[in-house]
Amino acid sequence: MGGMAYDLCAARRLFDSGAYFECHELVEAAWLGATGAEKSFLQGVVQAAAAYHKLGQGGRTGYEYLLGRARENLAKAPPERRAWAEAFAAELGKPAPRMPPP
């Protein structure tokens, strides 16, 4: 599997393993070249990773703000990404691996 689908699988593995910074960096590279709904969707993934990274650093306010923005942007996913975005968004706010509950 190549291209964006591969990047999303890799991003999800990084996110699920608690490697939020690495997830952010991977998706940000795709986000920079994206446009329209795809760009909003990818921004949501980047914001979710940044939210959990902030939480790990003790930034509760930043976590809550970024999580809200992530949900808004994930809801703008193009049709071909909608199922992935909805499944990912449904997990946001739940306790993260190696993190205390939000």
| pLDDT surpassing 70 at residue 3 | no
C-beta neighbour count of 41 within 10 angstroms = 26
The model's confidence at residue 27, banded by pLDDT at 50, 70 and 90, is: very high
Domain boundaries, the chain: 3-91
Element (H, E) at 76: none
Strongest mean pLDDT among 32-36, 41-45, 51-55: 41-45
Instruction: Report yes or no: 85 and 48 within 8 Å, Cβ to Cβ.
Output: no
* Domain 3-91 falls under CATH 3.30.565.10: no
Q: What is the DSSP string of 9-74?
A: HHHHHHHHTT-HHHHHHHHHHHHHH--HHHHHHHHHHHHHHHHHHHHHTT-HHHHHHHHHHHHHHH
What are the pLDDT digits (tens) for 74-95? 999 999 999 999 999 998 987 6
* pLDDT for residue 82: 95
* pLDDT for residue 99: 47
Provide the whole-model pTM: 0.86
* pLDDT for residue 13: 92
